[in-house]
Amino acid sequence: MSGRFNKIEELLYTCDIQFLGQRIVLVEILKSEETGMEDREGSIKDQLKLIAQLEMQKGIDEDEMLDMTLKAIEIVNIADMASEKD
């Protein structure tokens, strides 16, 4: 009987060592995934920041174009009024 218990104990020890190895691998995988998620999250934040900056610049450019258009219309109106006086 003692021989069987020793064999069972050896098998259980071997199984524990294998499970420990698997746990270590899984923990490392989880850690790398977590780091990868943080990297992707940072990248997404940077992209959103860039999009916001570009949208702001686009708005500024559109405002400038609107101002130029209004000035051009004003100049045309002034020219029309001047030609009507003549």
pLDDT in tens, 45-70: 899 999 999 999 988 889 999 999 99
The pLDDT tens digits for 26-40 are 888 888 777 777 778
Q: Distance (Å, rounded) from C-alpha 70 to C-alpha 78?
A: 12
Residue 77 has pLDDT above 80, yes or no: yes
Amino acid letter, residue 76: V
Torsion angle, CA of 11/15/17/18, rounded to 10 degrees? Answer: 140
Tokens of 34: 């977590």
pTM exceeds 0.75 = no
Question: Could you tell me how far CA 59 lies from the centroid of its own chain?
Answer: 23
Q: What is the reported pLDDT for 47?
A: 92
